[in-house]
Amino acid sequence: MEGGFDPALLVQSWPKPSEPRPIITFGAGSIVGDAHFPAYRKAGFPIAGLYDPDQAKAKTLADKWGVTAFRSADEAASVQDAIFDLATPPGRHAEILKALPDGAVALIQKPMGNYLGEATEILEICRAKNLKAAVNFQLRFAPMMLALKDAIAKGWLGEVVDFDAWLALATPWELWEFLLKAPRVEIAMHSIHYLDLVRQLLGDPKGVHAKTLGHPNHKVAQTRTSAILDYGDTVRCALSINHDHKFGRRHQACEFRICGTEGAAYLKLGLNLDYPRGEPDILEIHPKGATDWIAVPLAGEWFPDAFVGRMANVQRFASGEDGELVSSVEDAWSTMALVEAAYRSSAAPATPIAERP
């Protein structure tokens, strides 16, 4: 416990609901079998069933997990006192939300629509139907991120003044067929997690400078992004994202560096380095008053543990045990606005350089 810092005292999990409600999932894609259902089963949350328009796909996944495969969206939406878990492509969120009963509780897969206009439509549907709805920005609930947030809140870093995200890795985009022809991919589907986390830690930026682009070796719309978020003259925030570093593991990276006026944190997001198997996550902190880095023993990984915490908060908010719905549609809309601003910045001309006289 150098300088009084005890890593074992950092919060790494979300409290469980005392009486969890049954979960109805819309969608039978890889994310459900790789993360949603493993997390819910691990936490002891009851999975009532799932619906997907691809009935064969739905039945295969339902049989694997021993749950019901509903025959229609309306049948799935009719389950009483359920938490509705939308693991659907962003363009399908609105129609599912419209099918839910008024006042229902819903967790919506990110992103909140393909564009800000779709996010606004989703927000208006949730308001009109009085839905208690959150967006599945589950990185906020990963054990390493909960611990980081707790360390910052307890003053171990001082005032945060630098946030760096550095990714150089090979992402298997082919796992998500709907992304292969999508017009927006990297920021909308991946770096959105990081932008959302930055918003939670630093608040809303004044603006963003960004460039996102594809790669000549494939046809995925965007797989590389550079972005700078403007927080004024004190805080520097930069993201360097390259999903096309396909030259072996040796020099790949997926890490954050968060520096404060009195301490710093280093995080490795192991999942992305060998998705979906992943490597162990790492959190090390150089706390205020210490002379060296201290490893924080982690109580879980991003997948599936972040999905446990994300659903736990939704469940507890529904029962009144939590007073705040983290990443509610109201807050998530602002993350979508930041994503939209990044795409607008990328499409805008760069500042021209003067020609030699």
Q: What is the pLDDT of residue 2?
A: 64
Q: What is the pLDDT of residue 351?
A: 94
Q: What is the pLDDT along the chain (357 residues), one digit of tens a residue?
A: 667 999 999 999 999 999 999 999 999 998 999 899 999 999 999 999 999 999 999 999 999 999 999 999 999 999 999 999 999 999 999 999 999 999 999 999 999 999 999 999 999 999 999 999 999 999 999 999 999 999 999 999 999 999 999 999 999 998 888 889 999 999 999 999 999 999 999 999 999 999 999 999 999 999 999 999 999 999 999 999 999 999 999 999 999 999 999 999 999 999 999 988 899 999 999 999 999 999 999 999 999 999 999 999 999 999 999 999 999 999 999 999 999 999 999 999 999 999 999
Q: How far apart are CA 305 and CA 131, in angstroms?
A: 25
Q: What is the pLDDT of residue 177?
A: 84
Q: How far is CA 269 from CA 13, 20, 259, 260, in A?
A: 17, 29, 17, 20
Q: What is the pLDDT of residue 1?
A: 63
Whole-prediction pTM: 0.96
Q: What is the pLDDT of residue 178?
A: 82
